[in-house]
Structure 1
Amino acid sequence: MSKSLLEQLPGIVAAGKRQAAQILEQLEGRNRVSLQTRELVIPSKDRGGFNFWGNDGADAADTPNRLIYGDNLLAMAALLAGDEGTPSLRGKIDLIYIDPPFDSKADYRTKITLPGTTIDQKPTVLEQFAYSDTWSDGTASYLAMITPRLVLMRELLSERGSIYVHLDPTVGHYVKIVLDEIFGKRNFQREIIWRIGWISGYKSAAKNWIRNHDDIYFYVKDRDHFHFNKQYIPYPDDYVRRDGNRPTGQGYPIEDTWNSSEMDRLDSIQIMSFSKEKVGYATQKNESLLERIITASCPEGGIVADFFVGSGTTSAAAEKLGRRWVVSDLGKPAAMITRKRLIDQDAKPFLYQAIGDYQVEQARSALGRSFRVGDLAKVVLDLFGALPLPPEENMNGSLGRLPGTRTLVYADSPSRLTTISTLKRAQGYREVKMGGFDKVVVLGWNFSAGIGQDIKDLNDPNLEVLVIPPDLLDRLKKKGAGKLTSDVRFSSLQYLQAEIAARTTDGERESLAVNLRNYVLLSPDAINLDQANRAKLQDVMNSEPLALIEYWAVDPDYDGEVFRSVWQDYRGNTENDGDELRVVTTAVLDLPQADGPRTVCVRAVDVFGFESEVVISGVEVQP
C-alpha cells in the first residue's frame, strides 16, 4: 500500500535538507557554482559614475543589481559562494518574495508574434525537464523541488530578514509544513489572504463556492530581530468615527486580508488588459502588491530577492522604491521580459548573468558528483556516430572519427566555453592525428558569444561547428544513452552580422552609427516546435531574418570581457519607429569624443532567447 503524502513528507523534507547541505559543503571547494556575467545593462541616460569593479568587492551593497538566468538552486549556490568580484550574499538579503509555480496543469507555452504569423513555442528543453520533474509525482515531487531551495533562501536571509511565499490552496498547506520545519513555527508571522478582487475570472467556471484569493505565508529569520515598517491606509477625506469625529493618526492599519474592503483597495490579482504594467506574462502580479511587501519588510538600502521572478514585478518595484535587488528565473522569456521592463523604466545599471558551468552541474546531477569529463565525451561521440581514436592518439577521450570517412570529431568539455582557441586546436588535430584528416567537426556545449564571427573569420570550409543538445544530460538521466541514439540532433550555430555605418565628431561629442545586416538562426530543429510552427519559422527566416531579433545592444568601447550595454532596442519599444514587431536596424549613439580607434561590440538576443554577438575592431573617425 502506497504511503499518503503526509506519511511521505518527513522523508521529503529530510532529503531536501540533505541536498541543500551537500550544496553548502561545496561552496568553498573547486566544484562551487559560479555566475558568468553576460552583460552590464546601462539603461539610464546618465551613464557616468558606474564603476562597480573599483571597490575590491568589499561589501555586497557595493555591487550592482543582478538578473540571473538559470536554475534558482544553482543561482542561490553561486550567490552564497560569491567570487572574486562579488562577495557572498549569505546573511545579506533582507527580503525574499517568491511566487513559485503551483498549478500542475498550467500551459506555459509561449506565443511569439512575428510579422505575418504567430508561433506557438513549447517550453525550452531546460524548462520542460525542470517542470516535468517538479510535477512528475504530483505534490510530492513539487515539495521535493521547493524544500532545498527554501533551505538555501534561509541561508541568504539576514538576521532582520523576512520571506513571503505566495501560493494557492493547491499546495499551500503542505508548503507551510515545510516552512515550519525550515524556519521554525515560532518565526511564522501571518497567513496573508490576497483577494482576487471585484472581478473574478473564476466565477463562470466554478461549480461551488467562488475562489477569490491566494495565500501568502510570511515568515522571518528571527522573530526577535526582524525589520517591519507597519503600513497604514490613509483615512478617506470623508471618513468619520461612529461618534462623528474624524480620527487622528497615520490611518487605518493594514490587516492580513488585503483588498478586502472599500478602504483597502489594493490592486487585484488579475492584471487588467488596460494596465500600463501589463507585459503579456501569464502569471504576472501587480507592482502594488510588491510595493506593499517591500515597504513593510525591507529597510531603505536593503536587498530584495526573488528566485521565481517571472515578469519582473519584484525587481521593477524594488527599483522604484530604491532598494537593491537580485532576481532569477529558469525561463528565457522571463529573463527577456524582466530585462526589457527594467530598461523601460530607466533602471540603474544592472548585471545580466547566467550559471557559469550549467552543463557541469547537470552532469554531476545526471552522472554523479565524481563524473569525469572524458566519460561524457565518449557518450557524446557515440551519439554523434563517431568511433573513438586509439588511446595513444586520444589522451582525454574527446576525439573520434566518422566510420568510412576522413572526418575527425572533437567533443569539447562542458566545463569550458568553445572559443576560437578551441577551433584552432581542432584544426591542429585535423592535421596531425593518425596521419591527418580531411575535415573536423567540433561539438560544443557552451560557446563564446562571438563564435559566429570567429567561424566566419577562419573561413575554413573543412571546419564544422555544431551544438550539443542542451537537454542531453537530462535525457541521459531519464533514459540512459542506449535509448537516445536515434533522436539526438546536433544543430548549427546562430550568427549575427553588423557593420559600422559612420563615426563622426562634433566638438567634444561624437556620433556612432551601427547597422544590423543579417541574422542566421540556429537550426530550427533545435527549437521546441511542432512541424507546422517550424514551417512558419522557416518562412520568416527566409523572408525577413532580422524580424527574429528580440533585443540588441551596443557597447562602443568593448574591453573583451564585460559587455557594457549603453544603447538598446527591443521589440515592443515604439519610441524609435512605432513598430512593435521589429527592432530598429540602425543604432545612432551620441558619445563623448574618444581618442583613437574604438572596438565596438554588438550583441543580439533572438525571440527564442539565443544570444550572438559580433566585435568590430579598429573603428576610426571618418572625415
Structure 2
Amino acid sequence: MNFTDHEKEQLKAMIDRGEKLPAKYKSQLFENVPEVELVWAGKTSEVTNVVLPFQSIEQIDEPRKDANMVVGKDSFSLFSCDTNSGRQQSGWSNKLIWGDNKLVLSSLKNGPMREEIEKAGGLKLVYIDPPFDVGADFSFNIGVGPETLTKEPSIIEELAYRDTWGRGADSYLSMVYERLLLIKSLLASDGSIFVHIGPKVSHVVRSVLDDVFGCSNFINQIIWRRAFAHNDPSRCGMIHDVVLYYSNSDKRTWNKVLQKPSAEYLEQFFDQYDDDRKERYNRIPMDAPRHGDGGNLVYEWKGAWPSKNRTWACTIDKMEEFEKKGRIHYPKKDGGMPRLKCYESEYEGTVLQDIWTDINKIHNQSNELVDYATQKPEALLDRIIRATSNKDDLVADFFCGSGTTLAVAEKLGRKWIGCDLGRFAIHTTRKRMIGVQRELKQSGKPYRSFEILNLGKYERQYFVGIDPTLPEEQRKAQTLQREEHYLTLILSAYKAERIFQLSPFHGKKGSTVVLVGPIDAPVTLAQVNEAIDACRQNKISKADILGFEFEMGLVPAIQDEARQKGVTLSLKYIPKDVFDRRAIERNQVKFYDVAFVDIMPKVQGKTIQLHLKDFGVFYRQDDLDSLGESLKDGGSKVTIDGGQVVKISKDKSGVVSREVLTKKWTDWIDYWAVDFDYESRKEIITILEDGEERQVWTGNYIFENEWQSFRTKSERRLELMSGKYDYPEKGKYKVAVKVIDIFGNDTTKVVEVKI
C-alpha cells in the first residue's frame, strides 16, 4: 500500500473515531476490487435468509369432465385426477402467494418448497413488473351500482411503496437488487428473467441486472410501444416501456416465435401483384452464400448466374418446380436476378425483433380487462412465455398484480408461482384463474389446480422477533419473552393504554376494556366468553376484542349473547399495518369489525345446497364532514361510512347531500365459495428444526373450493344458492362458506350438517 505518513495518520484517526473511509482508498485497501462497480448509498450484498413455513388457506380446482384423465408424459409434468370428484389429486399444484415477496422469495429459496420446485423441473422463467413510477397510485376502482368507489391502498402497501422510493433511486435500487439476488439463486441454471420497467429508471435497473446476472448474460433490451402518439409538454411523447431480458447462464431456452407484420410493412414489401392468384407478394432472394465449390447449386438459369461467392439456394430440379408453379418473379430489366414469390396469405411473419409495436395496451372494452391499474396485455406475456419456456416449465411472477403472467402460463400449459403484497391483487387473480380453468374446461384442454398460500402467523411472529423455526418449547419461551412488546405494539396502534390489574384484559380505551388475541392463533369462543364474564363481574359495559383471526361463526351470535348480558362487544381485526411503526405514529392504522355471514343448508337425502342469506360489514374510509368541506361546488365523491358505500355531493349552491349506494347486503359481496366437506383435508406444513424437515399439522384445515359464484366485469349478477352436492354416504359433515367482499377481505363460516 502506497500511503504517505500523513494519509496513514489520517486513516487511523478516522477509524478511531468510527468514521467511514473515503471511497478513493478502496482500491488500495482491498484485494480484487473490480475495475467497474455499481455503487449506491445503502447497497449491500447481504440478503434475507429467513425461512417461514407457508400456510395453505385455499385449494381451487374446477372439476374436470373426464375424471379418469392423466396429464403429462414424465414425472415432472404428470398429474392425475380423482375418479369421483374430477379434481387433481397428485402432481404439481400451482401457487398463488399473498405476502411480502422478499420473505416469500427467501422462504422459497431456503425452505422445504425449494425441493418441490426442483422436482417440478426448476424455475425456468421469471417475469416481474416492479413498481417504477415514483408517483404511482395504488388505489383501485370498484363498481357499486352505476357509481365507482375508489378504494385507497392498505397502509402496508402504501408504506412498502414509500420504502421503495423513500430515498429516491437509492432505496428503489436496494429493493430491486435484493429481490434480483434472491430470484437469481432460485432460478434454474438454464432459466431466464424479464424485468418490465419504465424509461425513467430502465438505465439504472439495467446496471443492477448487469451487476447481478453479469453483462455476458444480457440478451435483449426490448422496447414495447405501450401507447399511441400523445403530447408531453416540452419533450418527446413517452410512449414506451422497456423489458430487459437476461439469462442465468449461457444455456437458455429460445423458441422461434414469429411477429405479425404491420400494415406499413406489408405495404412497403408486398409491392407486387399476381394477376392469376389475385394476391400481393414479396420478392425473396433465391441465392445463398457459397460453401466450397458450390456443387450442384451453381448453374445457369434463364441466362442468370449467381454472383461471385454465391450459389443458388436450391437445386435446378427445385427451380424447375417453382417455375411450373409460377412462383418465380423475373425483373423487367435484362440481367436481373430471379426471385421467389412469397404471397401475403402464406406469410407468417418475421422472427422477433427487439422493438414491439404490434401489441397494444388493453383498451376499456377488452374482454381481458379486470380493472386493475397496472394490468398488462396477455399478448405481451404470451410472446415472452412462448419464446423462452416450454410446455410444463415452471414460470413465476413475484409482482403478479392482476395475474396476467399466471393466466397466460396456464393457457400455454406451464406451471406457475405468483406472489403479491396486495390482498385485492390476490383476490383479482383468484377470480381470473378460476375463469381460466372454466375456459380450458369448456374447450377440453388440461389445467392444474392452484392453492392460495400465505406466511400467516409465521410472518407475524417474524415481525415481532419470534423465530418460527425454533423447536416448539424454545419458540413458546421466546413468545413469552416478546409478549409485552407485542401487546404494547397492538395497544399503541389502537390508541389504548396498557393495564395490568384487570385479567384477562390488556388495555383500556376510554371506558372500553381491550383484550388482544394471540399472535399465532385465532381468538376462541372460550376466550370471548371469559371476557364477557369478566365484564359482568367488574360491572363493565363495553369491551373490544382484537385479533388477527377469530374462531369461525362467532359473529353475530356471540355479540347478541353479550348484549343480553349487558355487555356491548366489538370484535375487530388487527391489520398487518401494525407492524410498521410509521403507520402507528401517523395514526393511519384502522381496525375493522369482524364481518358476519348467515347461511341456510338445504338437505334432501344425500344432496345439499347452501343458501346465502345475509352478510354484514362495518368499514369507514373518509371523515364525511371534512370530505364535504373539501368538495368543490358541483362535485361529488363515493366513499365508505358506517358500513355503507355512500355518495357525498355538493350542489352549486354549496349544499352537501349524502346518498347510500349499498341498497342491500348483497352489494357488499364480490365472491362466495363452498367447501362441502371442510374437515376432509388437514393443513400439513413442512418445517425445519435443527436442520431437519418435519411435517406438522397446524390444527387447521384447507378450504377446498368446490363451488363458487362471483362478479366479473361483464357479469355483475351473483347467485345466492349454491350448486347441488352429493355426499357418498350418510353422516355428519362440516360445510364451510367463504365470502369475499368488494375490497378482497374474506370471512368464513362453518356449519355442521347431518346427511
TM-score range, shorter chain: 0.7 to 0.9
Q: How does 1:601-620 map to 2 (within 5 A)?
A: 601-620=736-755
Q: Is residue 2:396 matched to residue 1:291?
A: no
Q: Distance in 2 between matches of 1:331 and 1:314?
A: 16
1:69-109 CA-partner distances (Å, limit 9, x unpaired)? 22211222232244489846699211000111111223232
Q: Is residue 2:610 matched to residue 1:567?
A: no
Q: How does 1:4-403 map to 2 (within 5 A)?
A: 10-12=39-41, 14-15=43-44, 17-18=45-46, 20=47, 23-24=48-49, 26-27=50-51, 33-46=52-65, 48=67, 62-83=91-112, 87=116, 92-196=122-226, 200-205=227-232, 207-223=234-250, 225-233=251-259, 238-242=281-285, 243-246=338-341, 254-260=351-357, 265=358, 267-268=359-360, 270-346=361-437, 347-357=447-457, 358-364=459-465, 372-382=482-492, 383-390=494-501, 399-402=505-508
Q: Which letter maps to 1:513? A: Q
Change in 2 beyond 3 A, CA 1:45/1:454: farther
1:492 is matched with 593
2:692 is matched with none
Q: Distance in 2 between matches of 1:85 and 1:170?
A: 35
Change in 2 beyond 3 A, CA 1:468/1:479: closer
Task: State the SS of the aligned residue for 1:174.
Answer: helix
Q: Assess if the C-alpha contact under 8 Å between 1:418 and 1:444 holds in 2.
A: no
Cα distance, 1:341 vs structure 2:
1.4
Question: Unpaired segments of 5 or more residues in structure 2?
Answer: 1-21, 23-35, 69-78, 83-89, 267-279, 286-337, 438-446, 467-477, 629-636, 647-658, 680-699
Which of 413, 426, 443 pairs up with 2:518?
A: 413
Q: Assess if the C-alpha contact under 8 Å between 2:140 and 2:372 holds in 1.
A: no
Task: State the SS of the aligned residue for 2:753.
Answer: strand
Q: Assess if the C-alpha contact under 8 Å between 1:80 and 1:89 holds in 2.
A: no
1:30 is matched with none
Change in 2 beyond 3 A, CA 1:582/1:130: farther
1:58 is matched with none
Q: Assess if the C-alpha contact under 8 Å between 2:676 and 2:735 holds in 1.
A: yes
Cα distance, 1:275 vs structure 2:
2.5
TM-score calculated relative to the size of structure 2: 0.66
Q: Which letter maps to 2:255? A: N
RMSD: 3.9
Identity %: 27
Change in 2 beyond 3 A, CA 1:255/1:489: closer
Q: Distance in 2 between matches of 1:445 and 1:430?
A: 16
Q: How does 1:528-607 map to 2 (within 5 A)?
A: 533-535=639-641, 537=645, 543-559=663-679, 561-572=701-712, 580-591=715-726, 593-607=728-742
TM-score calculated relative to the size of structure 1: 0.79
Q: Distance in 2 between matches of 1:139 and 1:115?
A: 42
Change in 2 beyond 3 A, CA 1:437/1:62: farther
Q: Assess if the C-alpha contact under 8 Å between 2:254 and 2:388 holds in 1.
A: yes
Q: Distance in 2 between matches of 1:8 and 1:122?
A: 40
Cα distance, 1:191 vs structure 2:
1.1
Q: Assess if the C-alpha contact under 8 Å between 2:125 and 2:192 holds in 1.
A: yes
Change in 2 beyond 3 A, CA 1:432/1:601: closer
Q: Which letter maps to 1:351? A: E
Q: Distance in 1 between matches of 2:670 and 2:536?
A: 45
Change in 2 beyond 3 A, CA 1:240/1:402: same
Q: Is residue 2:574 matched to residue 1:468?
A: yes
Q: Distance in 1 between matches of 2:108 and 2:40?
A: 27
Which of 593, 596, 620 pairs up with 1:524?
A: 620
Which of 521, 542, 549 pairs up with 1:447?
A: 549
Q: Which letter maps to 1:228? A: W
Cα distance, 1:157 vs structure 2:
0.3
Task: State the SS of the aligned residue for 2:604.
Answer: strand
Q: Assess if the C-alpha contact under 8 Å between 2:578 and 2:584 holds in 1.
A: no
Q: Assess if the C-alpha contact under 8 Å between 2:517 and 2:548 holds in 1.
A: no
Q: Distance in 2 between matches of 1:293 and 1:151?
A: 22
Change in 2 beyond 3 A, CA 1:80/1:175: same
Q: Assess if the C-alpha contact under 8 Å between 2:259 and 2:352 holds in 1.
A: no
Q: Assess if the C-alpha contact under 8 Å between 1:66 and 1:350 holds in 2.
A: yes
Task: State the SS of the aligned residue for 2:723.
Answer: strand
Cα distance, 1:175 vs structure 2:
0.7
Q: Which letter maps to 2:131? A: P
Q: Assess if the C-alpha contact under 8 Å between 2:498 and 2:508 holds in 1.
A: yes
Q: Distance in 2 between matches of 1:37 and 1:240?
A: 59
Q: Assess if the C-alpha contact under 8 Å between 2:611 and 2:721 holds in 1.
A: yes
Q: Distance in 2 between matches of 1:526 and 1:492?
A: 16
Cα distance, 1:9 vs structure 2:
5.8
Q: Distance in 1 between matches of 2:404 and 2:589?
A: 37
Cα distance, 1:582 vs structure 2:
4.1
1:195-217 CA-partner distances (Å, limit 9, x unpaired)? 33xxx445134544333422111
Task: State the SS of the aligned residue for 1:344.
Answer: helix
Q: Distance in 2 between matches of 1:152 and 1:231?
A: 29
Question: Unpaired segments of 5 or more residues in structure 1?
Answer: 28-32, 54-60, 575-579
Q: Distance in 1 between matches of 2:283 and 2:574?
A: 69
Cα distance, 1:36 vs structure 2:
2.1
Q: Assess if the C-alpha contact under 8 Å between 2:141 and 2:371 holds in 1.
A: no
Task: State the SS of the aligned residue for 1:465.
Answer: strand
Cα distance, 1:437 vs structure 2:
6.8
Q: Distance in 1 between matches of 2:533 and 2:61?
A: 45
Q: Assess if the C-alpha contact under 8 Å between 2:673 and 2:707 holds in 1.
A: yes
Q: Assess if the C-alpha contact under 8 Å between 1:64 and 1:350 holds in 2.
A: yes
Cα distance, 1:377 vs structure 2:
0.4
Q: Distance in 1 between matches of 2:389 and 2:412?
A: 10
Cα distance, 1:362 vs structure 2:
3.9
Q: Assess if the C-alpha contact under 8 Å between 2:619 and 2:640 holds in 1.
A: no
Cα distance, 1:233 vs structure 2:
4.7
Cα distance, 1:44 vs structure 2:
4.3
Change in 2 beyond 3 A, CA 1:193/1:106: same
Q: Distance in 2 between matches of 1:162 and 1:45?
A: 33
Q: Distance in 2 between matches of 1:433 and 1:490?
A: 22
Q: Assess if the C-alpha contact under 8 Å between 1:381 and 1:388 holds in 2.
A: no
Cα distance, 1:541 vs structure 2:
8.1
Task: State the SS of the aligned residue for 1:126.
Answer: helix
Change in 2 beyond 3 A, CA 1:541/1:478: closer
